[in-house]
Amino acid sequence: MSTVEIELREVRKVYHKDRIEIPVLEGLNLTVTTGEFVVLMGPSGSGKSTLLHLIGGLDSPTSGSVRVGDAQLERMTERELTSWRSRHVGFIFQMYHLVPVLTAAQNVELPLLLFRMSSAERRERVATALGVVGLADRTDHRPNQLSGGQEQRVAIARAIVTDPRLILADEPTGDLDAKTSEEILNLLNVLNTEFGKTVLLVTHDPRAAAHGQRQLHLDKGAFYRDEAVPPRAASTAAASR
Which residue ranges make up the site for another protein (CB under 8 A)? 49, 53, 56, 58-59, 78-79, 82-83, 85-87, 91, 93-95, 97, 99-102, 106, 109-111, 113-114, 119, 122, 158-159, 162, 170-171
Q: Which is nearer to another protein, 3 or 119 (CB)?
A: 119
Q: Which is nearer to another protein, 78 or 227 (CB)?
A: 78
d(CA 42, CA 47): 8
Cβ at position 89, least distance to another protein in Å: 8
Cβ at position 107, least distance to another protein in Å: 10
Cβ at position 241, least distance to another protein in Å: 27
Cβ at position 181, least distance to another protein in Å: 17
Cβ at position 149, least distance to another protein in Å: 19
DSSP the chain: ---EEEEEEEEEEEEEETTEEEEEEEEEEEEEETT-EEEEE--TTSSHHHHHHHHTTSS--SEEEEEETTEEGGGS-HHHHHHHHHHHEEEE-TT----TTS-HHHHHHGGGGGS---HHHHHHHHHHHHHHTT-GGGTT--GGGS-HHHHHHHHHHHHHTT--SEEEEESTTTTS-HHHHHHHHHHHHHHHHTT--EEEEEES-HHHHTTSSEEEEEETTEEEEEEEPPHHHHHHHHHT-
Cβ at position 215, least distance to another protein in Å: 20
Q: Which is nearer to another protein, 24 or 210 (CB)?
A: 24
Q: Which is nearer to another protein, 46 or 213 (CB)?
A: 46
Q: Which is nearer to another protein, 76 or 95 (CB)?
A: 95
Q: Which is nearer to another protein, 71 or 233 (CB)?
A: 71
